Amino acid sequence: MLILQLFLVATSLTILILLYKKLITWWIKFKKWQKEIFYNNDQAENQDLTGQKAPFFYAVSLKTGKIISIEQITNGQIFVIIFMDSTCAFCNTHFEAFSQDIQDFSFANYAIIMPKEQKSYAEEYYKLFDGKINVYLVDNDVYEKYKIHFFPAFVLLDEKQTIIKMTPIPAFLLNDFRYRLQHGLT
């Protein structure tokens, strides 16, 4: 009986230690990410393309398999291009929040952009949302053209494809939408 009790105590302690290690690891990664986001966001504000025409690119549509241009993707509408990457730990969470909150803004359309090398990940994402979200594959140089230094990168374009805002935080973008609605800029 004593051996069983000791075994149960030892097992419980082992589980607690493992959980504690996981929590500490998560906390360290979270703090690192937080520092990176704020650093990259500050850097991006000084180096991004806000106020400039969006760089031209071609993309492959996962829906149709056809190659189309940015003009065809945005179709002269207010549009959000979401640059994602399979290595991004926070892309799913940020995209989920964005996709739920964006429903309040009927004038806004959006699509996900991913590198061609990550086609399988992009296909999983496409299937996850039952094909309701447009997902496009691009060459890596598109990320360089847009000066993407953080993921996810939400890039807001106006009807003329001028970049209005670039941010990793969807709430910043949604605040811009609210401002546009209040001031009749839609």
- Among residues 161, 162, 165, the alpha carbon closest in space to that of 175 is found at 165
pTM: 0.71
What is the number of domains present in the chain?
A: 2
114 and 72 both lie in a single domain: yes
Copy the structure tokens of residue 49: 């393309």
58 and 35 both lie in a single domain: no
CATH of the domain at 105: 3.40.30.10
140 and 168 both lie in a single domain: yes
CA distances from 124 to 22, 62, 82, 130, 167 (A): 27, 11, 16, 10, 24
Q: What is the pLDDT of residues 69-121, one digit of tens each?
A: 999 999 988 899 999 998 888 888 888 888 888 877 776 789 999 999 999 99
What residues make up the domain containing 168?
A: 50-182
6 and 57 both lie in a single domain: no
